[in-house]
Structure 1
Amino acid sequence: MTSAATSETTDAVSYKGWRGIRRAFGTPSALTMLLLGFGSGLPFLLIASQTLSVRLRDDGIDLKSIGLISLASFFYLLKFVWAPLLDRYRFPLLGFLGRRRSWLLISQIVMLIGLAALAFVQPKADIPHLVMWVLIASFAGATMDTVVDAYRIEIAPESAQAALAATYTLGYRVGLILAGAGALYLAELEGWRQAYLVMAGLMLLPIVTTLLAREPVEPQTTVRREINLAQAFIEPIAGFFKTNGVLVAIALLVFVGLYKFPDQVIGVMAGPFYLDSGFTKADIATVSKLFGVWIGIAGAFLGGICVAAFGFRKMLLVAAIGVALSNIAFILMAQYPGQIWSFYTAILADNLFQGFAGVVFIAFASSLTDRNFTATQFALLVSLANLPGKFVGGASGYIVEATSYKTFFIVSALTVVPALLLLAWLWNKIHDPNGQPAVKKNP
């Protein structure tokens, strides 16, 4: 995490082959991304997902209110809206830290304050203040994620991105475990106030990491400084189309939107399906939240190694097919309801390829970004990758009720076909630094 590691930012260092893989995973930036990933993963469940929902229900909040409060998590899907400001400016008063670290530090500090404030809010007695602090923390978390992604892309060459994505994923999932199982155990033993205060204290680790980490070298081009504020919102999109060409750019964006579709479309139905298959809440916690998380970490590291060794074009194909086939694995649970081995098998396949595909996507999306607009373009790609499946997933209950779980999983797996067809058309148009040379982008 020191300035001595400046050689990482140059392409002179080779990350190809097994020796290159070991070098990529051993860089100081890999450790930095591990700790920053922890900082991004820790607050998510506490402010936008399951841990917060459990706390609200435990305090007697009705289900409708819990659903409305959860809408604050939409900041994580809308982070591209303010990403241009993160690309153009340094945060005032902290500008000496650099463009990336100044925003990263302030978002981490706001997150720590938000979690500490939530520790002292009584949900049922003071819903307005609860919502206020959830919104503030969610905005800080979305900002943090955006800057961390930009930092990762800019701190190392494309050939090392898969390794950094894998270590980031490890840190992120460890944060999820602590904010999930860890916070629930603390709440059971000591109460919610103590649980949230401990989680707030853990944010000191990524804060220290940001202070000790080095700032990425800014691009030599002056494009970012020459544009005005209005252009800062337009230029990243226009630049993407100019770099790739209109037809290829549209195909890339559609592919990004379809790539994770088979996995995301079943997300809403997963929990009800587990219960309907005869598994208890304890079974779900053990298999899905503990076993599944560690399998996801293994999949992420496998993805990082494979991308470093073979390039992300081939791994895009493997990941897309794997995610689709993992949906088929859920049919085992429908065929053998209540059989724990079928649950483990389905979660093994699902989380392994989720972790694998996630790292492959990060490496691929990173290669598409212009380092003059890193935060904006990457945030747009991530949002695009999540939105289609989320929206269609909202109607998944109607599909299951009209057909069956088996039919639903088969149909969800078949939705990979358009993505595969697009990938075949794009194959020689995707630049892959670790794979075989592809057709270069438009000048």
Structure 2
Amino acid sequence: MRAELGRKEIPDASVSNRVDWRAAIFNRRMLACVFIGLASGMPLYVLYQLVPAWLRDEGVSLTEIGLFSLVGIPYTWKFLWAPFMDRYRPPLLGRLGRRRGWMLFTQLALLFSIGGLGLFQPQSATLVIAWVAFAVAFFSASQDVVLDAFRREILPDAELGLGNSIHVQAYRISSLVPGSLSLILADLMPWDSVFWITGAFMLVGIAMTLVVREPDSEVPLGGGLRATVVAPFVEYLQRKGWQPLLAVLAFMFLYKLGDNMATALATPFYLDMGFTKTEIGLVAKHAALWPAIFGGLLGGVVMIRVGINRSLWLFGVVQLVSILGFAVLAASEAHLWLLALVIAFEYLGVGLGTAAFTAFIAREASRAFAATQFALFTALAALPRTFANASTGAIVEETGWVSFFLLCAVLAVPGMLMLLWVAPWRRAGTLESAV
């Protein structure tokens, strides 16, 4: 019975008429996934693309910039407050409903905290900037908790793979704002104006929140400590057991470790190579974005054909090999065509790997405890981005860029080995999740 809950096989699309794929793609749920991705991704790219570029442009050292990754700690601990967002409505905004109320609360907070970053000077107020960035990360992580639950509740099981793939691509597209537009604007106007313009893009998410309806939820409001905090973890243990849980948690930490570290200091790396902020905004970011989007969409199609498990194997290999391209770039002269080529291949692997990884997380989570279980799994996935990335600046200054990227490729191997336990090749996997 336990296996039936999470291991249902998806028939080949060519022989199945149970799913109207045209109707599955062109509906309001998929449109909502687009806006969810845009609202969710933008704050993260502010922290991991725009802020490092700003700090480096103002003369902050690579070691200090690397340590700024620690402001992402809320992404790794969001499962602690996720149960309360699952059970209670926010103050003042509760009339919008549990999900929509928290969505609006966090989105308004993000608009003002992102804009507030530019009020301070990096050389004289680095610590203050770190605390404001921490606030951005906290509100962003909290928004992710409710948006993940909202997405899980509006998507039927048959649309999980496609919906999550569209969400991931919209997430990537949001990087055009802090990773491209904002960098170009930084060559034309002061940084404080850049941050307020960037923060204003949260209005996209706010508009979506005000338009959509509150989804039906299987989680009742209120409840004691056991119902709020303990029940989501007990449910997973009863459904899977301790050993599968530990294996899944280890996999979620390791699978994106090398990839996350390789791209942690991407913008400072491009600046150190001699590229201008405008070149980075126009060439590097677009060369990363569109292959990642194509990779994610391709990943969604491949998952339909071969399943999640085999996709994790195939895409993991591409992801690992693509990291080596950065080592080639670091050892070469600063040519824009080479920069675009290396980044395009790397982010093709990122798009493929992220699509399968996100679908895997959705499959593992129960609809009845969507916010808490999603938060736990994505928090584990965020650990490398927060703690391992904090050491990247010191590693680069000690070893140089080439050796650093070779190390990242080696660190991608353990995550591939974990697939032997969590996603065996012979078990094709599924796009359906636990009930």
Give 1:366 shift: 0.7
Residues 63, 215 of structure 1: CA spacing in aligned structure 2 closer, same or farther, 3 A cutoff? Answer: same
Contact 2:327 2:403 in 1 (8 A): no
2:248 corresponds in structure 1 to 252
- Distance in structure 2 (CA, Å) of the matches to 1:203 and 1:126: 25
8 Å Cα contact 1:260-1:385 kept in structure 2: yes
Identity of aligned residues (%): 32
Q: Which 10-residue stretch deviates more, 375-384 or 286-295?
A: 286-295
Q: Matches of residues 82-231 of structure 1 in structure 2 within 5 Å?
A: 82-118=81-117, 133-219=132-218, 228-229=224-225
Structure 2 counterpart of 1:104, one-letter code: M
Distance in 2 (CA, whole Å) between partners of 1:339 and 1:175 is 26
Higher relative CO (CA 8 A, sep ≥ 6), structure 1 or 2? 2
Q: Distance in 2 between matches of 1:129 and 1:105?
A: 26
Q: Give the Cα–Cα distance (whole angstroms) in 1 for the partners of residues 349 and 201 of structure 2.
A: 29
Is the CA contact 2:258–2:408 (under 8 Å) kept in the aligned structure 1? yes
Contact kept, 8 Å, 1:15 with 1:160, in 2: the verdict is no
* Cα distance, 1:15 vs structure 2: 11
Give, in angstroms, the shift of residue 302 of structure 1.
1.6
**What are structure 1's unaligned runs of at least 5 residues?**
1-10
Partner residue, 1:79: 78
Partner of 2:29: 29
Query: For residue 324 of structure 2, what is the amino acid of its counterpart?
Result: I
Q: CA deviation at 1:419?
A: 3.4
CA deviation profile, 1:71-118 (whole Å, cap 9, x unmatched): 433223322221111112122333332221111111112222334444
Q: 1:304-383 residue pairs with structure 2 within 5 A? A: 304-333=300-329, 336-383=332-379
Any gaps of 5 or more consecutive residues in structure 2? 1-7
Corresponding residue of 2:39: 39
Aligned length: 421
CA gap 1:137/1:274 in 2 versus in 1, 3 angstroms: closer
Displacement of 1:188 in angstroms is: 3.7
3-state SS of paired residue (2:367): coil
Q: Once the two structures are superposed, what CA deviation does each residue of 1:352-408 show, in whole Å capped at 9, x if it has no partner?
A: 010111111111101111223212211211121232465445556777788786666
Report the more deviating stretch, 342-351 or 229-238: 229-238
Alignment partner, residue 7 of structure 1: none
TM-score by length of 2: 0.81
Instruction: Tell me if the contact between 2:259 and 2:412 (Cα under 8 Å) persists in the aligned partners.
Output: no
**Alignment check: 8 A CA contact 1:15 1:159 kept:** no
Q: Please tell me the residue identity of whatever aligns with 1:244.
A: K
Amino acid at match of 1:180: G
Displacement of 1:238: 3.0
Looking at structure 2, the residues matched to 230 and 142 of structure 1 have their Cα atoms a distance apart, in angstroms, of: 23
Is the contact between residue 69 and residue 389 of structure 2 (CA under 8 Å) also seen in structure 1?
no
Q: Helix, strand or coil for the counterpart of 1:373?
A: helix
Decide whether aligned partners of structure 1 residues 225 and 212 sit closer, same or farther in structure 2, where only a CA change above 3 A counts: same
| Equivalent residue for 1:280, pick from 269, 272, 275 | 275
Distance (whole Å) between structure 2 residues aligned to residue 386 and residue 253 of structure 1: 12
Alpha-carbon spacing, 1:118–1:305, altered in 2? closer, same or farther (3 Å): same
Q: 1:431 to 1:88 in 2, by over 3 A?
A: farther
Asked if the contact 2:310/2:429 (under 8 Å) is kept, the reply is: no
After superposition, the Cα gap between the structure-2 partners of 1:418 and 1:148, relative to the gap in structure 1 and judged at 3 Å, is same
Aligned residue type for 1:348: A
| Matches of 2:281 and 2:185, distance apart in 1 | 16
The 2-side partners of 1:405 and 1:61 are apart by: 18
Question: Counterpart amino acid of 1:235?
Answer: A
The letter of the residue matching 1:361 is F
Number of the residue aligned with 1:297: 293
Q: For the residues of structure 1 that align with 2:182 and 2:347, how far apart are their CA atoms?
A: 22
Cα 1:390–1:286, aligned 2, differ >3 Å: closer, same or farther?
A: same
Amino acid paired to 1:100:
R
CA distance in 2, matches of 1:62, 1:245: 46
Q: How does 1:407-422 map to 2 (within 5 A)?
A: 409=405, 412-422=408-418
Say whether the 8 Å CA contact 2:62–2:394 is kept in structure 1. no
Conserved? CA contact 2:258–2:412, under 8 Å: yes
Change (3 A) 1:241 1:119: same
Distance 1:119 1:15 in 2: 51
Would the aligned equivalents of 2:87 and 2:222 in 1 still touch at CA under 8 Å? yes
The SS at the match of 1:265 is: helix
What letter is aligned with 1:255?
F
CA RMSD of aligned residues (A): 3.8
Distance 1:198 1:338, change over 3 A: closer
Alpha-carbon deviation of 1:263? 1.1
Shift of the alpha carbon at 1:301? 1.6
- Asked if the contact 2:296–2:351 (Cα under 8 Å) also holds between the matched residues in 1, the reply is yes
Q: Write the distance in 1 (CA, Å) between the matches of 2:186 and 2:395.
A: 37
CA separation in 1, counterparts of 2:329 and 2:254? Answer: 26
Aligned to 1:386: 382
Change in CA separation of 1:193 and 1:373 when aligned onto 2, cut-off 3 Å: same
Secondary structure in 1 matching 2:162: helix
CA contact (8 A) 2:306 2:428 kept: no
Question: Following the alignment from structure 1 to structure 2, what is the Cα–Cα distance between the partners of residues 161 and 348?
Answer: 27
290-299 vs 134-143, greater mean Cα deviation: 134-143
CA contact (8 A) 1:30 1:164 kept: yes
